[in-house]
Amino acid sequence: MIVGIDLGTTYSAIAYMDKEGNPQIIINSEGGRTTPSVVMFEDDGTVVVGEIAKESSIISGANVVEFIKNEMGNPKYRFRCSNGKEYTPEEISAFILKKLKNDAESFLGAEVNKAVITVPAYFNDAQRKATQDAGVLAGFEVLKIINEPTAAAIAYGMENRLDDCHILVYDLGGGTFDATIVYYSRNNIIVKATDGIRRLGGHFFDQEIVNFVVQEFNKKHNIDLYDYKYVDILQELNKKAEDCKIHLNARKETFIPISCHGARDRIRITRDQFNSLIKNLYERTERIVLNTLKDAKLTWDDIDKILLVGGASRTTYIRERLRELSGIEPSAEINPDEAVAMGAAIQAYMMDKASESVDLERNQVIDVCSHGIGIITLDALTNRHVNTVIIERNTQLPARASRKFYTSEEDQEIIKLQVTEGETEEVEYVNIIGTFEIEIPRGLSKGSEVEIEVVVDENQIVHVYTRILSIQDFFKEIHINRKSNLNSKEIVKKKDLISRTAVM
């Protein structure tokens, strides 16, 4: 069986296509349609994922890890358990994926071995590769990594027969935000522009509530709940803050009970106070939305609908501010928590050889390059190294572009290529995704023309072609494999270990 997976910061979901060709969410072993992205390591070696792990964080915090998505692609991060064992972000995400895989196999009564997994649109090359590696460690053949807003657009496009229509996907999840503008034609879903922010979402709304409650409690009782000795109370407060956020969508006020060191209180928080707390966070998303409109060369008059995706997009304040900004009533026609997984399942279904004969309403998804791709060059005027972007961010895929450069020395023997990902000229702010040395024929004079062509394919894999224009037959092709924090031996070893680990 083949599935689509939304590997979320706070919650994850998995979906499949039924016999009628409709996407369906898979119910987990606890009866839920989403699974908390929380992992707990037991002393006996068992790994617990989901609601039980989340609830246990209050009493077993040292062995519980949350929000691991924020560390994907970080080669230095390790989660250390109380027994001294350490785990990489890829391994922790793999345990979440294995839990989803186990639940899917129980639900469907069949082996589940292929998946399309989603990531935020802003994820860079290293983060995408880390996600792919996590899927492999969990026992999946990862068919494709696709952007979350694109997946949501696929799901919405299947639900609705749209033609000549622009939609803004406002994707505010537990820990990430993406804005994407999609154009629907009769047969295609075309991404026009996308942008996003890491570390912004519903979890950060919760933290604003926590800060408010801690300050109010301290004012009344002179007790600082941020003191380490109250860590258990603070962890419990985090859970209450999430409930408070949800309650304030339906109520004008709510109360959070706190008991600490003999002091008991019910801290009142109103919807207006909550709105004030998250105002700056919302406005960061608004700037991204406006930049995305600008990149797509569109105005609000061109947008037919705003599609809300991600659990935090349910927030009443978000809907109100978006309506004020755009003049458009935001829509949650598809479940914000499930749209991404269902879109990934549709994409997986479209890629599966067994379903080639199935006629889906939309037969092609055209995405964009999430980041600029370029090379580091020497600026002859300033004599400093700069990043030269060859393919701009939000260029439609597949993308192809070339630039001419010049050899810097007489009789130069080697061209050193550092291929980058990023939009700025400043070298320190871009990611180097590949470094190569190309031997060139001797005898070239200084200033000989070298053409560098960059191609980014539909899977956002980068290919670089080098030509020396004065030498007819000189042509070099470089295929850039995504950088992995794990080598092939480590992947085999860790995959075997995870396959033998009981995940509940």
* Three-state DSSP state, 401: strand
Q: Nearest 5°: CA angle at 368, between 362 and 370?
A: 135
Distance, CA of 374 to CA of 387 (rounded, Å): 7
Secondary structure letter of residue 327 according to DSSP: S
- Residue type present at position 68: I
Strand order in the sheet with 399-406: 399-406, 449-456, 462-468, 475-480
Best CA proximity match to 237, nearest among 257, 215, 216: 257
Distance, CA of 127 to CA of 384 (rounded, Å): 29
Secondary structure letter of residue 444 according to DSSP: P
Please, what sign has the CA dihedral across residues 112, 118, 124, 125? positive
Strands, E, within 81-127: which ranges? 86-87, 114-119
* Three-state DSSP state, 192: strand
Only one residue has tokens 């999840």, namely 173
| Residues with catalytic function | 6, 69, 148, 171
CA distances from 87 to 5, 39, 80, 119, 142 (A): 22, 11, 7, 21, 21
DSSP assignment of 198-239 equals ES-SHHHHHHHHHHHHHHHHHHHH---TTSGGGHHHHHHHHH
